[in-house]
Amino acid sequence: MYSEEIEIRTDDREVVHDLTGACAEFLVEAGAVDGLLHVWVPHATAGVVVLETGAGSDDDLLAVLREVLPRDFRWRHRHGTPGHGRDHVLPAFLPPYASIPVLNGQMTLGTWQSICLVDTNVDNPVRRVRLSHLAG
């Protein structure tokens, strides 16, 4: 298995950050042919999704998360900024990982699919993402 960790700056705002380009570069560095790309976020308040970006879906996702997981005082987990407890529930809805098949060195994503980090935790401006290629 070939693996490396990258750093993503999310600053102090909720973000859907496209990782697709970084994943493609990683596969080149790994000399990947066939196998699986595994994307893992070792954080308790972030997730990984595969979705269309740039056409509004990324903003729509953040809007839905604000509705489903409001940033208010209902949460028992209370350290950090007000409503931070909802960030700790996020990975139950958006898992901290994704696995994508790789064939002939290319991710087998659909036409409009991108691999994205979703981070709603405004208290943590830097994230680590582990990319791993499991040869097949």
Question: pLDDT by residue (tens digit) across 22-36?
Answer: 999 999 999 999 999
CA atoms within 13 A on the CB side of 75: 19
Question: pLDDT by residue (tens digit) across 83-135?
Answer: 899 999 999 999 999 999 999 999 999 999 999 999 999 999 999 999 999 99
pTM attached to this predicted model = 0.95
Domain residue spans of the chain: 2-135
Angle between helices 85-93 and 57-68 (to 10 degrees): 120
What stretches of the chain show up as alpha helix (H) in DSSP?
Answer: 20-30, 57-68, 85-93
When the pLDDT of each residue in the chain is averaged and rounded to a whole number, the result is: 96
DSSP-derived letter for residue 68 is H
In this structure, whether the domain defined by 2-135 belongs to CATH 2.60.120.460 is answered with yes
